[in-house]
Amino acid sequence: MRLHLDGSTSIDAEKETVFNKLTDVKFIAGTLPDAEDVNIVDPTTLEAKLKVRVAVVTSTLKLRMSIADTEPTSRAKLLAEASGSGSHLTISSTFELTGSRPTTLNWSADAEITGVMAGLGSSILKGFATKKVGEIFAGITKALEAEAA
Amino acid sequence: MEVLFQASVDEVTKLIGLEKRELDILEDADAAANELLVSEFEKYVERKYNPEIPEVLKRHNLMGVPIEEKYGGRGARQLVQALFLERMGQSGMGVITFADVHQCLGSMSIQDWGTEEQKQRYLPRAAKGEAVLAYGLTEPEAGSDPASLKTTYRREGDGFSLSGSKYLISNGSVASNMIVFAYPEVGGGGLTAFLLDTKQKGFKVDMRLEEKIGLFTSDTSMLTLEGAFVSKEDILGQEGKGFSVAYSALLNGRIGIGSGCVGVMEDCLNQVKERVTSRVQHGKEIGKHQLIQKHVAFIESSLEACRWLVYRAAIKKDDSEKDPKSLPLRAEADRLSAVAKYMASRCAFESADRAVQCFGGFGYSIMSPVAKHFLDTRVARIYEGTDEIMELKIASSVLGKGYEAYK
């Protein structure tokens, strides 16, 4: 099953700061909700265990995420693969920055989901993903604005 | 807008016509249904009432869809109300049950039968969502036969006190006001409808009925009335004429349930289409297997047949409201609402069953998007008129009054 999400958010920080942070795997690791056992493999790759809660059911997924195709200070790709509890996810996302203080972050993500999680159906998954992405970007914005202040 | 709903709206617009303000209601319904997706799913799996339903409806100004604009509602005719409930039905019958009871059984009964003072007192609050309405007809010993209700009233001071039990009442423990039906304690008069404030002393929620086989996100309660007081201004309609109130409410409610069931079939079709075009077994998508296509064909055909049956009942009800003194129009609206509810609830149940089949083993889990429809549509064949009562009504509408086997 394929899912597409996109959106944009405004961050009250310099474009360069936003770019540097979003391409810093240590920073990214800190913004992942419910991540455990985070391991920074190299400057562009991290691994972690991700607890995904859907209603009363919690699944543990092994995540590998990497940063690719960086074009300082405008755009980059975040690629992720996660497996566990009978499900497999492949996510390819791109972000692009425009303006500076405030910096507009435009992002899009394409996910391919197979296994048990796919059975939930795209409408439910999209609803959950939208909610989760909203939480992630709220965390990113808060962290970046705190640093820029 | 969701694709199947958009198709319904486009077709109705083309064939019948919808005004801008009516299309606005339907846009709001689409947004509200999307907003309810996650909470409905989560609460369903937790088997809990979803308190987000009234909140989301309030945020989108959808608590008073059929209430006249002069009382703060959206002034929707029955056809638009049906389309609104069709979209909400995609979220499940839990949402429909809340909205149908609050609007079709509650608000519309007050609008149809209330005095001007009652309308001013209740409808603006119901439209804003400050009041949530329930409908107290069913009792432990009276379901399809309201003549056997045991709840009674007696005169007390400037009003009446009500005593008895009400059972399987949707919105029962979350309602601020409810329409309650009772017989006089003495004198053998007819059934009377009252507007009861649930904060009144003597009103008690006995239990929330959570041992249901489905419909988890809808509140279902057993209520006890122990001398609950209503003033004489709280009689809805005329004293002793409660059957007329009850039956007209059920006519509205049946179109509402039929509309919700159309939405369920739309969601079943969407979910099945996605599943059978992505699930691979025996080297190909299961949708390429002919026996799976049989299920797809059934759901699609049921949806198309029931959609227009429901719209037709709604249009006939609108005609009847324009000419309320016409008994033939009213009888026709009554007949078509029974046919629409009967067919749509049965087809929705079978469509949900077939959708579960297309999902295979995962369809048997309430984590799947179709299991809830299978569990929930079962009650649509029972509440607001069982299959059997609908069959008797439909048959006697064909054969004539002398064949009313339910009387």
Contact A91, A79 (CB under 8 A): yes
Please name the amino acid found at residue B145: D
Rounded to an integer, the average pLDDT of B96-100 is 97
Q: B337 and B286 in contact (C-beta within 8 Å)?
A: no
Model pLDDT, residue A34: 83
Residue A149 has pLDDT above 90, yes or no: no
Intervals of CATH 1.20.140.10 along chain B: 243-403
pLDDT higher than 80, residue B117: yes
| Annotated active-site residue in B384, B388, B391, B404 | B384
- Judge residue B407's burial from the number of C-beta atoms within 10 Å of its C-beta, 0-12 exposed, 13-18 middle, 19 or more buried: exposed
Q: What is the pLDDT of residues B327-369, one digit of tens each?
A: 999 999 999 999 999 999 999 999 999 999 999 999 999 999 9
Given a cut of 90, is residue A132 above it in pLDDT?
A: no
DSSP assignment letter at B139: B
pLDDT at B369: 95
Contact A57 B45 (CB under 8 A): yes
Measured CA distances, B196 to A3, A55, B66, B110, B385 (Å): 49, 36, 21, 12, 23
- Nearest Cα of chain B lies from the Cα of A119 at a distance, in angstroms, of 6
pLDDT of B20-49, one tens digit each? Answer: 999 999 999 999 999 999 999 999 999 999
Residue A56, domain CATH: 3.30.530.20
- Residues on chain B touching A55 (C-beta within 8 angstroms): 41-42, 44-46, 367
Residue B374, pLDDT score: 98
- Residue A138 has what pLDDT? 84
The CATH H-level superfamily of B3-132 is Acyl-CoA dehydrogenase/oxidase, N-terminal domain (1.10.540.10)
- DSSP strand pairing (B152-156 vs B177-184): parallel
The residue segments making up the domain with residue A55 are 2-148
Which residue in A31, A27, A59, A61 sits closest to A44, CA to CA?
A27
Which residue, among A69, A70, A62, A34, has the nearest Cα to A46 in the 3D structure?
A62
Asked whether the beta carbons of residue A116 and residue B362 sit closer than 8 angstroms, the reply is: yes
Task: Count how many Cα atoms sit within 13 Å of the Cα of residue A40 in the half-sphere of its side chain.
Answer: 10
Task: Give CATH 1.10.540.10 domain extents, chain B.
Answer: 3-132
d(CA A83, CA A39) in angstroms, rounded, equals 16
pLDDT reading at B59 higher than 80: yes
**Buried-exposed string A107-132: b where 16+ CB fall within 10 A, e elsewhere:** bebebebbebbbbbbbbbbbbbbbee
Tens-place pLDDT, residues A115-126:
888 889 999 998
Instruction: State which fold the B135-236 domain adopts.
Output: Butyryl-CoA Dehydrogenase, subunit A; domain 2 (2.40.110)
Q: Do B368 and A128 touch (CB under 8 A)?
A: no
Cβ–Cβ gap A119/B359 under 8 Å: yes
Question: Exposure string (b/e) for B56-83, b if CB count within 10 Å is 16 or more?
Answer: bbbebbbbbbbbbeebbbbbbbbbbbbb
pLDDT at residue B340 in the model = 98
Partners of A134 in beta bridges: none
Residue B230 pLDDT > 80: yes
Is residue B115 pLDDT above 80, yes or no?
yes
Kindly report the backbone phi and psi dihedral angles of residue A84, in degrees, each rounded to the nearest multiple of 5, phi listed first: 150, 160
pLDDT band at B272 (very low <50, low <70, confident <90, very high): very high
Residue intervals in chain B for CATH 2.40.110.10: 135-236
Cα–chain center distance at B251: 10
Give me the percent of chain B exceeding a pLDDT of 90: 96
User: Before A102, cis peptide (omega within 30)?
Assistant: yes
pLDDT category at B146 given cuts 50, 70, 90 is confident
B235 near B191, Cβ under 8 Å?
Answer: no
Q: Is the pLDDT of residue B169 over 90?
A: yes
Token pair of B112, please? Answer: 């149809």
pLDDT for the residue A55: 74
HEC string of chain A equals CEEEEEEEEEECCCHHHHHHHHCCHHHHHHHCCCEEEEEEEECCEEEEEEEEEECCEEEEEEEEEEEEEEECCCEEEEEEEEEECCEEEEEEEEEEEECCCCEEEEEEEEEEEEEHHHHHCHHHHHHHHHHHHHHHHHHHHHHHHHHHC
Q: A57 and chain B: CB distance < 8 Å anywhere?
A: yes
Mean of all residue pLDDT scores within chain A: 90
Both structure tokens of B370: 């179709």
Residue-averaged pLDDT of chain B: 96
Q: Which residues contact B149 (CB under 8 A, 6 or more apart)?
A: B137, B139, B142, B164, B181, B182, B183, B191
**Alpha-carbon span A82 to A62, nearest angstrom:** 5
- For residue B88, is pLDDT > 80? yes
Any idea what DSSP says for residue B216? Answer: T
pLDDT of residue B93: 97
Nearest CB to B278: which of A1, A56, A116?
A: A1
pLDDT digits (tens, 9 = 90+) for A86-116: 899 999 999 999 999 899 999 999 999 988 8
B42 contacts A131? CB cut-off 8 A: no
Total tally of structural domains belonging to chain A? 1
Does residue B384 have an active-site annotation? yes
Q: Tell me what pLDDT residue A30 has.
A: 85
- Residue B244 confidence (pLDDT): 94
- A127 contacts on B by Cβ (under 8 Å): 34, 37-38, 41
Task: Sort out which chain A residues have CB atoms less than 8 A from B367's CB and list them.
Answer: 54-55, 57, 119-120
Fold of B243-403: Butyryl-CoA Dehydrogenase, subunit A; domain 3 (1.20.140)
